[in-house]
Amino acid sequence: MNILQIANKAIYPPDGGALAILSLSQGYRKLGHSVHLLNMLTHKHSNDLKNTKKPLIKGIRIKGIKINIKISFIKLILNLLFSKEAYIAERFKSQKFSEELASLIKNNDFDLIQIEGLYCMQYIHLIKTTFKGKIIYRPHNLEYLIWQRNASESKSVIKRYYFSILAKRLNNLELSILNTYDFIAPISQLDEQRYNILGNKKPIRTIPFGINFESLSEKAHKTIIKKDEVCYIGALDWIPNQNGLVWFIDKCLPIILKKTPLFTLNIAGRNAPVWLIKKFSDSNITFHGEVENAHNYLNSYGPMIVPLFSGSGMRVKIIEGMALKKSIIATKIACEGINCTNGKNILISDNPESFSQSILEILNKPSIQKELGNNAYIFVKDNFDNTKLAEELINFIK
């Protein structure tokens, strides 16, 4: 098959969204299909082929169109007052991208167009005017649900008000594109259920994020045991990540330090705002900033924590951590869509005391770290191989 993927995010840095896109691209290639990827170049993401792992992009024809998605306060206010569209989605509308998309469709005989995420679904009507083949929508999450949860978590009255409006407008956008596609492949089973509740009538199949095991270093097969530290990695300009880290630092860190005074929390991530960096000033916190290689970082420090109380879809970093044999402590929402088992291949808790106690327990018992890591690796190997998932999706749409 000749496949076109369109995405609002370029491939570098390789965060969860970028990896979720590339995992299926590479899965298709390994199955012998031809893959074009048209994506958006922004101030946050680029198509840096030099620094992207070669197994992830091998054989994929990638083209990026530069667009400006920087938030303008003036445009935000004008949008709030005079528009019914969600400003966060409106930023991804581009005439230049539309023209390139139309040209690609006209000059290539595509069998399948795969639309990655809600913001690119804003181009569905343009696609349908020039393309008569199959269209599959692959939502990575339900955007309105993220902002709905952000609103409920926010302590600011103004933010709660704006986030609630944003959630309603994103929900309206989601409803407006419902059933305009031929197939839908959400990234988690929980999201599959949510789409059916929203009114989806098209064939639906959950296709989670997959791991390209060829891209993992040999270190991935060696369990790293640490006794006095944990690590965290994630985009630090994303509100759910910010809120989760603040919760851990305020609620959990004091409990842990009472029992283990030399404990260290390692934090890695890009685009941390100044107020959050100030939060990392504690002597028991080491802030690494944006790391060059996420796998090397995760392999260098202790168990991985994923404190998250809002969001949707699935956490790619948990799947990556499991593939690296990490022992992981996470909240229930962080584990949505993964179907992992508490106490077997991960530890799950939403309570500061039990979350902290889980950390202390595995730090004091390396055998538990090793067992969790080994079970996690087996779980991911059996359920999240990108080639198998790509084959399942192709078979689904035939």
The answer on 261 and 156 residing in a single domain is no
Helix, strand or coil for residue 83? coil
**Which pLDDT value is given to residue 53?**
73
167, 266, 303, 331 from 79: Cα distances, Å: 14, 39, 43, 35
Range of the domain at 376: 214-383
The answer on 288 and 378 residing in a single domain is yes
| Domain finish residue from 179, 207, 235 | 207
Measured distance CA(212)–CA(20) in Å, rounded: 11
Measured distance CA(181)–CA(197) in Å, rounded: 17
250 is written with which tokens?
């305020």
Measured distance CA(193)–CA(206) in Å, rounded: 10
The answer on 222 and 158 residing in a single domain is no
Residue 376 covered by a domain: yes
| Domain finish residue from 161, 188, 207 | 207
Q: Is residue 67 a contact partner of residue 33, using CB atoms and an 8 Å limit?
A: no
Give the CATH number of the domain where residue 66 resides: 3.40.50.2000
Residue 392 covered by a domain: no
Residue 394 covered by a domain: no
Length of the chain, in residues? 398
Q: Is 136 exposed, middle or buried (0-12, 13-18, 19+ CB in 10 A)?
A: buried
The answer on 161 and 79 residing in a single domain is yes
The answer on 286 and 245 residing in a single domain is yes
CA atoms within 13 Å, Cβ hemisphere of 59: 16
pLDDT < 70: residue spans in the chain: 55, 215-226
The answer on 38 and 174 residing in a single domain is yes
The answer on 369 and 265 residing in a single domain is yes
Q: Is the dihedral of CA 169, 175, 181, 186 positive or negative?
A: positive
Residue 396 covered by a domain: no
The answer on 271 and 147 residing in a single domain is no
Query: Tens digit of pLDDT for each residue in 177-203?
Result: 999 999 999 999 989 999 999 999 999
As for how many domains the chain has, the answer is 2
The answer on 195 and 113 residing in a single domain is yes
The answer on 236 and 163 residing in a single domain is no
pTM: 0.86
Residue 395 covered by a domain: no
Residue 140 covered by a domain: yes
**Which pLDDT value is given to residue 225?**
67
The answer on 231 and 163 residing in a single domain is no
| Domain finish residue from 157, 188, 207 | 207
Query: Tens digit of pLDDT for each residue in 306-363?
Result: 999 987 778 889 999 999 999 999 999 999 889 999 999 999 999 999 999 999 999 9
